[in-house]
């Protein structure tokens, strides 16, 4: 369902008086509420207003009055350490339902449709109708953490008013003059707000692409092997070499190699790339982060000493990778790390901030982009194991089906590719947090072409649009049936498309059911007296990739019901898929 919204754009500049632009039908009371609840508190907060950052916010005033939008704090044109704060606010004046909330989150991540840039004092701004998130934003949006979206879904379900403020701190930004003289920016992709780069400005030849796919499914680390790594490599190789999809000229594969051979292969691959080319390195396997903040990728000979510490010479270090990547003649370099950093595989629990800090230190530079399957530390099977990795699964699906081309331009860019996989991963496993880190211009780097008039892809786009909540209503099914006839598609193909689209939602529901049954069984064993989690329950939550926001309502509801209904007898089992009638898998 589209969002029809009124707009407020408010600017507070150190050099000029306050400026405010309001669309014609914006109620005066809502303008006042915006200033009282959003603009004024932000401007009075020195820790926020006095720094280069941007933020998204969502404030529900009543059941059918909602404000949401962005605030951007930029350097003032006069410089001298002064700042300009720009608020862009949308007013949604209808009862809020789950599909609208999902579209609002997508909109916050995409960015505003228009900004204050180029507006004159006498200009008017119009109401907007936002149908999806495929528009070209005037400024970049804010990545919304999965726990924030999950919490607001829960509040909406409980009919509570929503209220959140999500800041995203900027790094110091050079002046416009300095920025204009830089060939590339080494800042994170989300850290500079700007309009999209035109594809025509890229000198990259789409046919001049090479990839090296490296995987380690066997090792000597004393933890379980990862047979799914071979499936990761095979599925990605197939779609990259396909001339109608990835169309990579070179796709080399290296499986279960020792550290000298792996290092030599990586260095040889990057040193022999042409200047105007794209060089992509993909790694699937275990990784370890040490106390010094160095990331180590596993090889077939990776092992520990008698004290349990890793033997660094049996791994590939991030500082080696960074040096090789930066030294490559290829103008565009991409590294994809689909890694397991479980409690068992990493003796050092540095947290996600340590992993990202390592990326900034060792794996950043002009023309160099890093994609990581998750910045969080989770047990192995939530990311990979016997089955292919969930992140790689959706990277492959995005290229295989063409659906990663979110706005139908016929080109899948690096940003579109990662964003599609990230969205699907966080539906199925909210605790996983895939990361895109790299220069701004890399976001528009072409990865693959997509046939624009493909009937199956047209049908899939409509299924994606009509099933944002993970279900297809009767009315939407009638729309899809009519489209099926119009596109002359057979029923089996359409059923397959719908199953693919609904898969992450079904995986998520299955995980909630599995968690609920296991928790209910544990509480039954404890005699209904224990509400707090046990280590086994916490492990299961981590294994399933669920957050506390996902599981707390389950625990609370079960515990409350125990006082009013008899406890059913539940047989202890390690697998509940047959009892649930679920035929899928946990990625």
Q: Could you report the per-residue pLDDT of 512-530, keeping only the tens digit for each?
A: 999 998 888 877 776 655 5
User: Are the C-beta atoms of 273 and 332 separated by less than 8 Å?
Assistant: no
Residues 551 and 516: their CA atoms lie apart, in Å, by 8
User: Are the C-beta atoms of 442 and 332 separated by less than 8 Å?
Assistant: yes
Over residues 349-407, the pLDDT tens digits come to 344 556 777 777 788 888 899 999 876 655 555 555 567 789 999 999 999 999 999 88
Cα torsion 266, 267, 270, 274: sign? negative
What pLDDT score does 292 carry?
78
Compute φ and ψ for 69, nearest 5 degrees: 165, -150
Residues near 525 by beta carbon (within 8 Å), at least 6 away in sequence: none
If you average pLDDT over every residue of the chain, what do you get? 79
pTM beyond 0.75:
no
What pLDDT score does 394 carry?
96
What pLDDT score does 5 carry?
92
Going by C-alpha positions, the residue among 312, 380, 399 that lies closest to residue 340 is: 380
Residues near 488 by beta carbon (within 8 Å), at least 6 away in sequence: 455
Largest CA distance in the chain: 74
Residues in a beta bridge with 8: 22, 89
User: Are the C-beta atoms of 179 and 107 separated by less than 8 Å?
Assistant: no
Specify the range with the lowest mean pLDDT, choosing from 2-6, 183-187, 482-486.
183-187
What pLDDT score does 393 carry?
94
Over residues 139-151, the pLDDT tens digits come to 888 888 877 887 8
State the DSSP string of 119-156. Answer: --TT-----EEE--S-S--SS---PPPHHHHHHHHHHH
What pLDDT score does 324 carry?
94
């Amino acid at each position: 369902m589209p969002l029809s919204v009124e707009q407020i754009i408010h600017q507070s500049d150190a050099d000029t008086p306050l400026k405010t632009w309001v669309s014609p039908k914006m109620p005066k009371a809502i303008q006042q509420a915006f200033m009282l609840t959003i603009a004024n508190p932000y401007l009075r907060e020195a820790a926020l207003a006095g720094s280069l950052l941007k933020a998204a916010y969502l404030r529900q005033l009543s059941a059918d009055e909602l404000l949401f939008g962005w605030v951007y704090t930029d350097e003032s044109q006069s410089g001298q350490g002064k700042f300009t704060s720009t608020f862009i606010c949308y007013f949604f004046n209808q009862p809020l339902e789950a599909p609208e909330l999902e579209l609002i989150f997508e909109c916050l991540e995409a960015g505003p449709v228009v900004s204050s840039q180029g507006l004159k004092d006498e200009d008017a701004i119009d109401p907007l109708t936002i149908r999806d998130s495929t528009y070209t934003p005037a400024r970049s949006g804010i990545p919304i953490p999965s726990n924030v979206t999950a919490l607001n879904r829960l509040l909406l379900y409980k009919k509570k008013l929503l209220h959140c403020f999500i800041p995203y701190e900027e790094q110091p930004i050079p002046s416009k003059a300095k920025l204009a003289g830089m060939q590339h920016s080494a800042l994170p992709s989300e850290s500079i707000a700007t309009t999209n780069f035109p594809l025509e400005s890229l000198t990259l030849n789409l046919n001049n692409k090479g990839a090296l796919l490296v995987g380690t499914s066997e090792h000597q680390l004393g933890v379980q092997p990862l047979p799914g790594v071979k499936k990761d490599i095979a599925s990605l190789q197939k779609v990259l070499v396909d001339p109608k999809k990835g169309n990579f000229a070179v796709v080399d594969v290296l499986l279960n190699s020792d550290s000298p051979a792996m290092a030599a292969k990586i260095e040889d691959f990057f040193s022999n790339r042409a200047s105007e080319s794209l060089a992509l390195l993909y790694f699937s396997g275990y990784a370890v982060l040490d106390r010094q903040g160095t990331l180590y990728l596993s090889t077939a000979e990776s092992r520990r000493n008698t004290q349990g510490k890793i033997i660094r010479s049996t791994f590939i270090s991030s500082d080696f990778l960074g040096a090789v990547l930066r030294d490559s003649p290829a103008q565009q370099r991409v590294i994809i790390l689909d890694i397991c950093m479980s409690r068992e595989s990493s003796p050092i629990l540095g947290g996600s901030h340590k992993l990202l800090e390592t990326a900034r230190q060792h794996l950043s530079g002009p023309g160099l982009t890093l994609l990581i399957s998750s910045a969080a530390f989770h047990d192995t099977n939530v990311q990979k194991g016997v089955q292919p990795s969930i992140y790689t699964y959706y990277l492959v699906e995005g290229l295989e089906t063409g659906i990663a081309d979110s706005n139908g331009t016929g080109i899948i860019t690096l940003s579109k590719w990662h964003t599609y996989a990230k969205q699907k991963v966080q539906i199925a496993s909210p605790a996983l947090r895939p990361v895109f880190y790299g220069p701004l211009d890399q976001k528009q780097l072409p990865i693959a072409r997509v046939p624009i008039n493909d009937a199956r892809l047209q049908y899939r786009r409509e299924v994606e649009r009509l099933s944002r909540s993970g279900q297809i209503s009767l009315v939407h099914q009638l729309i899809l049936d009519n489209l099926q006839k119009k596109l002359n598609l057979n029923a089996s193909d359409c059923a397959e498309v719908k199953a693919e689209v609904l898969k992450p939602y079904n995986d998520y529901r299955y995980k909630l059911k599995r968690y609920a049954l296991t928790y209910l069984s544990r509480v039954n064993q404890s005699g209904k007296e224990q509400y707090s989690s046990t280590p086994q329950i916490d492990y299961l939550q981590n294994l399933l990739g669920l957050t506390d926001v996902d599981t707390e309502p389950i625990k609370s509801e079960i515990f409350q019901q125990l006082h009013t209904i008899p406890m059913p007898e539940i047989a202890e089992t390690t697998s509940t898929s047959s009892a649930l009638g679920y035929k899928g898998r946990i990625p």
